[in-house]
Amino acid sequence: MARIAFIGLGNMGGGMAANLAKAGHDVRAFDLSADALARAKDAGCLPADSAAIACAEAEAVITMLPAGSHVEAVYTTDVFAAAPPSAILIDCSTIDVETARRVAEAAAVKGLTMVDAPVSGGIAAANAGTLTFMAGGSEEAFRRAEPFLADMGKTVIHAGPVGAGQAAKICNNMLLGATMVATGEAFVLAQRLGLDLQTFYDIASVSSGQSWSMTSYCPVPGVGPETPADRDWQGGFAAALQLKDLRLAMQAAASVSADTPMGARAAEMYQRFVDEGGAATDFSGIIKMLGLAVPP
């Protein structure tokens, strides 16, 4: 079993660090939040007084931070100076491709090996250890990171060189945002045309309109499998995080002159939903903004 530094013990990182401890690793945990540190201690991790202290003698450093600026700051300020050259550095946060590549290149200059390994799956999957990881890095870096990722998830895929994990993540989540808006508007149109929504689901879920947003995460309460829609669109994947991922996708699209009109429209729609107070609502709740009539 390995000594692992885990930095960023929030909604996602807390469960991930706990699963590494459960797998028998010696997890040295750090977060700016004392509450998060206390929860990690209860879950079997050893709280560290700083990121640098957590990194000392680590075989792997894993980070799960809010955004690119946090990742760049933590690595350049603490991790590069404190982690042994033999450590594998794994950033699981969702950040922009450019920052992921820049930080990995800076790691390489210091003689350190880094992988970007963002996740698909929310807080429940982080707690249950069933996340999907999409990793960017060299073959050798991936081979070294894979066993740690496997202790936190059920699927680990090598997406390509450094930055490829983030690229896969934002392309996937751009598609997710666009299909959720499209699925929501199809249900609202069906409702206005007098169709029974369960009947429309029974047809569309086995027809060419089918998607994950329809069959695994149906935005209509009482239709399809149990989803956040059945809990007044609470829990699940917050609209603010969907908006964050759509913004990252738009930033990446602009950097390579890719034309992404559906993604751009989905980003506008989620921006409006968040502006109107939907930030903490599950992202499928955008169907309310689209005009779904819900019986009282």
- Where do contacts with ligand NAD occur on this chain (CB under 6 A)? 7-13, 30-33, 36, 51, 64-66, 70, 73-74, 93-94, 119, 122-123, 237, 241, 244
**CA contacts within 13 A on the Cβ side of 260:** 26
Taking the least distance from each CB to ligand NAD, the nearer of 92 and 197 is 92
Q: Token digits for 129?
A: 């250890």
> Considering 110, 154, 169, 244, which one is annotated as catalytic?
169
Tell the smallest beta-carbon distance from residue 93 to ligand NAD (Å).
4
| CB-nearer residue toward ligand NAD: 243 or 253 | 243
Place of tokens 């922009």: 96
How far apart are alpha carbons 51 and 138 in whole angstroms?
25
Contact by Cβ (8 Å): 39, 14:
yes
Shortest distance, position 193 Cβ to ligand NAD, whole Å: 34
Q: Is 235 exposed, middle or buried (0-12, 13-18, 19+ CB in 10 A)?
A: middle
Indicate the residue type of 279. Answer: A
Instruction: Closer to ligand NAD by CB, 186 or 240: give it.
Output: 240
CB of 121 to ligand NAD, least distance (A): 7
Instruction: Say if residues 239 and 278 touch (Cβ distance below 8 Å).
Output: yes
Q: Which residue, 66 or 209, has its beta carbon nearer to ligand NAD?
A: 66
Largest separation between any pair of C-alpha atoms in the chain: 65
State in angstroms the smallest separation of the CB of 195 from ligand NAD.
Answer: 32
22 has catalytic annotation: no
Tell me the catalytic residues: 169
